[in-house]
Amino acid sequence: MLEAVEIEVRFGGLTAIDRVSLALGQDEILGLIGPNGAGKSTLVNALTGFQKPTRGVVRLDGVAIGRWPADRIARLGIARTFQGVRLFQGLTVIENLAAAAIGGGLKRPGAEARGRDILAWMGLDGRDHQLAGALPYGDQRRVAIGRALALAPRFLLLDEPAAGMSDAECDALVGLIRRVPEEFACGVLLIEHNMRVVMAACRRIHVIDSGRTIAAGTPAEIQADRDVIRAYLGTKSEPGHAGR
Amino acid sequence: MSGFLQHVVDAVALGSLYALTALGIGLIFGVMRLINFAHGDFIMVGAFSLVVPSSAATSTLLIGAWPAPLLVAGVCAVVIALALATERLAFRPVRRADPAVLLITSFAVSFFLQHAVIAIHGGRPKSANIWPNLMEPIVIAGVRMPQLQLITIVVTLGLLAALALFLKRTDIGVAMRAASEDFQTARLLGIRANYVIATAFAISGLLAAVVSLLYVAQTSVLSFQMGVPLVLFAFVATVVGGMGSLAGAVLGGFVVGVGSVFFQVVLPAAWRSNRDVWVYALVLLILLFRPAGLIKTKASEEKA
Amino acid sequence: MAGPRTPLKWLETYSTPIALTLILVGVVGLTWASGAAVFAQTVTDTLIRIMLVVGLYIFIGNSGVLAFGHIAFTLIGAYGTAWLTLSVFKKSFALKLPLILAEHQYAVFPSAIAAALLASLVALVVGVPIMRLSGIAAAIASLAVLGMFHTFYNNWSGWTMGAATLPGLPLYVDMWVALGWVAFALFVAFAYQRSRFGLALRATREDEFGARAAGINIARQRLIAFVLSAFFMGLAGVLHAHFLGSIAVKSFWLGLTFTSLAMLIIGGQRSLTGAVTGAVVISGITEVLRQMEGGFTLGGVTLALPLGSQELGIALVMLLVLIFRPAGLTGGRELAFRLGRRRRADA
């Protein structure tokens, strides 16, 4: 169980995250949505060691990990992707995944084998030896997900994986994400703006705005929630129209 | 007590030289993310401009023989021109490259300048006596110190004050400071980039010229490697002070200067020739505990 | 470390160091057969430079951190082997060493290893604070290390004769000895970059945040490369010492720092082939310029380049490469050959 308990993140005078709590189990997919600037990426940074919370506790199976360095947290099994993708551009696709598998403790032959398996699972095989930087953008984002999975993580935090994807690609992505908990024994935290993806993939959704939790529940509950609608569309709102 | 005050004055004077050099380096780093290895050679060329270019073993004063205001103006003009020329010819073509390439480029320029001077002046050190009367001591509050040290400190404070005003009050200055502290801003300099960067080099050249004059007045020796110790310590000072912070560069310069005099005084005589080793070790120690340097800026922190 | 099972696959995977070594063996063989002593000197000199640049490459090429201070390790290696291999008589004459060194003369081979290991040990100690710094800060801090050791050895007259030249070292490094050590270095460097440590470090070179998110400890990976690199930098110092027979602290300072970096950059800092290429090309240019400094005839007129032209020439070439081809002559590619099935060789 990965838990955030009353997390607060302040930058100088600005409170980016204001006492947010959530919990993620290894067998579920939790969505994290909210308007732009709500603090979603900051929260992911806080959960993965890229940002130390000013207050509050991050717990992995009961152990507090909030002040640990990012690479140590990754080795514990908490993987993430970045909005800015951040692939190893000068390395090949297979090397990208192998590097993460090595981070997870494997030696090179085993790391490359795991990388190949994941690429095949994602439908990206055949590209092994292409330079990551030469791939089209959409493929780069998928390789990034593959790289995170190469850590053999217990928790996978995806930061806007569907950005720039067509509807067909989104559906494929949803299919992929839904298989992760079962096939990898890995819980997923999905940050997304794309409501099509969120509603289809997640059984539970957590909504934050301006750093605060404003709602949490099933997709149906969230869609009908007044606070959520107001946060996305302003005070003039109509029920039934959530998100962009 | 006067012995202690003497040491304090020494420390501050030396720190001033390092601070000015470090500031010259820090300014360029701020606008271009370039560590200008050639800065020490700007200082060196400024010094050599005092004498007639010739490979003779003894030197004849050229600019060094001019009356003081012209002398100062002359050396400043030479060094500023050199700084602008290297910016235009060597650094502008590689401006977009990553910091590693920039650093190596400046190393190449430094190497080039040193060997050009060897080709013109020969490889042996030469003497250049300017303003010998400045080495006469004066007595202030019971402390005897060479006038030169006092002048060094006063000039440094004056320059720092002038520069601080410039950085706060003028458009270019503000742009330079912003760029220094956040490289994203530096990249947004856009159309004005050429102008801002050239100005930074000009100021850097001015600082180098001043250091050159003060240094030669103190040591009276010209050698093609004379800029190296200054610039090594200045680099180290910028790192200790906090890369990207101009105030940090100045602070780092004083830390290194004070540390240097401190070790000179405190070390037993047999170890004094290794004073520099101790200064470097002190720097590494500070970095062990404060990897980002003493003054943190946005430049030293990055966000995912 | 990666080790495919069949001999054929092994050959293919290690084709880069094999190819490079074969080329060097060819050059050395031809020179030896020709019997020209002058060529042999030049070739040995070039091989020592290759060792130097390969050592530099192990750290800089894989980590992307432009550390400046590596010549400190060459200095340490050179004097380390001197302390061990100088004859007892010569030591008593010039140096004041502790008994374990002053009263013994050790065999050259273990001494070489010991001196290189000393360099690695120093790298380990100074590397711990330095590798936690950001790229630029680490580069400068390593320069501080060079400054430290330069000053230290310059003043340590009891052990180094201070600024004076220390003569009398056994002269055992000829083309074949140098070649042997260089081949060793090439294989180790390649094995490292093919290993999990090499790949992890290369990942940090590409994107530090991505690397941390992939569970890679950046400081630790850099430190490993730094220590390994120091071993070969130290070894280059050993070879230099026993090739020239005398050493001086001033040789291991900014001039050598610059030329070794120039060789790596010009050749291409991202590949082992680049390191070797840079060393060979610069050695060639230096040799030509040196001849021209000595005087040459062009159309009946005798000309000579001014002194210092070698260095100016290298600086100019370096600047041109940096401006027009920053990835160096090899552009990060490795020399490699394929056997049997067509398959892309990855670095």
Same domain for A189 and A137, yes or no, is: no
Tokens of C337: 């050959």
Q: Nearest by CB to C344, which of A79, A80, A129?
A: A129
What pLDDT score does B303 carry? 42
CA distance C334 to chain A (A): 14
Q: Which residue bears the tokens 């500031």?
A: B23
Say which DSSP state A203 is in: S
Number of domains in chain C: 1
Same domain for A131 and A42, yes or no, is: no
Chain B residues close to A82, C-beta within 8 Å: 304
Residue A82: inside a domain: no
Hey, are the CB atoms on A99 and C203 less than 8 Å from each other? yes
Chain A residues close to B303, C-beta within 8 Å: 45, 50-51
Same domain for A54 and A6, yes or no, is: yes
d(CA B190, CA C77): 48
Residue A8: inside a domain: yes
Residue A56: inside a domain: yes
Chain A contact present for B100, CB below 8 A: no
Residue A220: inside a domain: yes
d(CA C290, CA B33): 36
Residue pair C189/C57 in contact (Cβ under 8 Å)? The answer is yes
Domain range for A110: 87-149
Could you tell me the residue ranges of all domains in chain B? 16-227
d(CA C71, CA C62): 18
Same domain for A136 and A19, yes or no, is: no
Q: What is the pLDDT of residues B193-204, one digit of tens each?
A: 788 889 999 999
Tell me the CA end-to-end span of chain B in Å, nearest whole number.
54
Domain range for C92: 7-249
CA distance C10 to chain A (A): 13
CA distance A123 to chain C (A): 20
Q: What is the pLDDT along chain C (347 residues), one digit of tens a residue?
A: 444 567 778 888 888 899 999 999 999 998 888 888 888 888 999 999 999 999 999 999 999 898 889 999 999 999 999 999 888 888 887 788 888 887 888 888 999 999 999 999 999 999 998 898 887 788 888 888 999 999 999 988 888 888 888 888 889 988 999 999 999 999 999 999 999 999 999 999 999 999 999 999 999 999 999 999 999 999 999 999 999 999 999 999 988 998 899 899 889 889 999 999 999 999 988 888 887 777 776 766 777 776 667 777 888 888 788 778 878 888 888 887 776 544 444 44
ipTM above 0.90, yes or no: no
Hey, are the CB atoms on C136 and B243 less than 8 Å from each other? yes
What pLDDT score does C129 carry? 86
Mean of pLDDT values over B38-58: 86
The backbone region for C96, taken as left when phi is positive above 0, alpha when psi lies in -120 to 50, beta otherwise, is beta
Hey, are the CB atoms on B236 and C141 less than 8 Å from each other? yes
Hey, are the CB atoms on B293 and C137 less than 8 Å from each other? yes
Nearest Cα neighbor of B29 from B271, B278, B246 is B246
Q: Which residue bears the tokens 């969230």?
A: A222
Hey, are the CB atoms on B287 and C129 less than 8 Å from each other? yes
Residue pair B197/B87 in contact (Cβ under 8 Å)? The answer is yes
Hey, are the CB atoms on B287 and C323 less than 8 Å from each other? no
Question: Which amino acid, A82?
Answer: F
Give B 275-304 residues with CB within 8 A of chain A: 303-304
Mean of pLDDT values over A160-184: 89
CATH of the domain at A199: 3.40.50.300
Residue C26: inside a domain: yes
Give C 1-60 residues with CB within 8 A of chain B: none
Residue C188: inside a domain: yes
Is A128 a residue whose pLDDT tops 80? yes
Hey, are the CB atoms on C206 and A79 less than 8 Å from each other? no
**Interface chains of chain A (3 or more CB pairs under 8 Å):** B, C
What pLDDT score does B39 carry? 95
Hey, are the CB atoms on A106 and C210 less than 8 Å from each other? no
Residue C283: inside a domain: no
**Interface chains of chain C (3 or more CB pairs under 8 Å):** A, B
Same domain for A140 and A157, yes or no, is: no
Bridge partners of A206, per DSSP, are: A32, A216
Which letter, b or e, does each residue of A189-221 get, where b requires 16 or more Cβ atoms within 10 Å of its Cβ?
Answer: bbbbbbbebbbbbbebbbbbbebbbbbbeebee
Task: List, in order, residues 6 or more apart from B204 with CB less than 8 Å away.
Answer: B24, B25, B27, B28, B36, B39, B42, B83
Number of domains in chain A: 2
pTM to 2 decimal places:
0.88
Q: Nearest by CB to A99, which of C214, C217, C270?
A: C214
Chain A residues close to C344, C-beta within 8 Å: 129
Q: Are strands B137-140 and B143-146 parallel, antiparallel or unpaired?
A: antiparallel
**Interface chains of chain B (3 or more CB pairs under 8 Å):** A, C
Chain C contact present for B298, CB below 8 A: no
